Structure 1
Amino acid sequence: MPALVLLDHSLLAPSPTGPAGFGAVLSGDPREQGIGLFDSDTGRFSAGVWQCTPGVVRMVRWPYNETCVLLSGRVVITPDGGEPREYRAGDAFVIPCGFTGTWDIRETVRKHYAIERPLAPLRLIVRGTRWLRRLLRRRQAADRL
């Protein structure tokens, strides 16, 4: 049986140093740092700890389903077409895959996160299968000539 994985937020440095890369910076100079502490064998699930200093960042079509549990800080998240909502230490929420909106980080945020990478949409798999069949038929026809 696999061992449990501790999401130890003390592994993060006191001050993030890298520029925020989870979206387009709209104001401020948000700096982030994260540590992935677990990746599933399938590569679809990951968990870790993350932090970011104040600033406003726009996220467009977030590529994961992500569960967040804030350990410290304060952020106002506003989905496009929705109302702003403030989250503080102790709050937990889910960012659904495809989310578009802004993160206005008012106080350095530190969180535990768990992300699930969605499977490729079925229609893309079906299209790929059809394309592959056509390619194989063409090659077989060419080989017969």
Structure 2
Amino acid sequence: MSNVIEKFGVKIVRNPPEEKLTELGVRKWTKWNCPPSKFGWTYGNKETCYILEGKVKISLYGKEEESVEIAAGDLVVFPKGLTCTWDVLVAVDKHYNCG
């Protein structure tokens, strides 16, 4: 059963059902991967991603205490305009779609 977490506009669906992933066409989205690292990012568009592997701590830019972790099996929606810091704890592999 999936559960939903929403924090500072980031919506996380933990372990969404395969039917939902198929409905969204997740497996056809662009793939992106990243080794452990830390960097700032601003979303120019809404982005939906599905984490295949890895673990990331996302925090509001300049506010490390405002954070949420995403990991393998999470379907995540980042709102347009969000400025955050990605702290990639375990190398990430994801599918993503902007718009």
TM-score tier (shorter)? 0.5 to 0.7
Shift in alpha-carbon separation, 1:6–1:57, aligned structure 2, 3 A: closer
| Counterparts of residues 47-126 of structure 1 (less than 5 Å) | 47-60=29-42, 62-80=43-61, 81=63, 83-116=66-99
Identity over aligned residues, as a percent?
36
TM-score by length of 1: 0.46
Shift in alpha-carbon separation, 1:87–1:71, aligned structure 2, 3 A: same
TM-score by length of 2: 0.66
Give the match for residue 17 of structure 2. none
* CA distances 1:72-127 after superposition (whole Å, capped 9, x unpaired): 000000023571111110011111110101000011101111111xxxxxxxxxxx
Aligned length: 73
Which consecutive residues of structure 2, in runs of 5 or more, have no partner in the other structure? 1-24
- Larger helix fraction of residues: 1
Which consecutive residues of structure 1, in runs of 5 or more, have no partner in the other structure? 8-36, 38-46, 117-145
Would you identify which runs of 4 or more consecutive aligned residues in structure 1 move more than 3 Å?
Answer: none
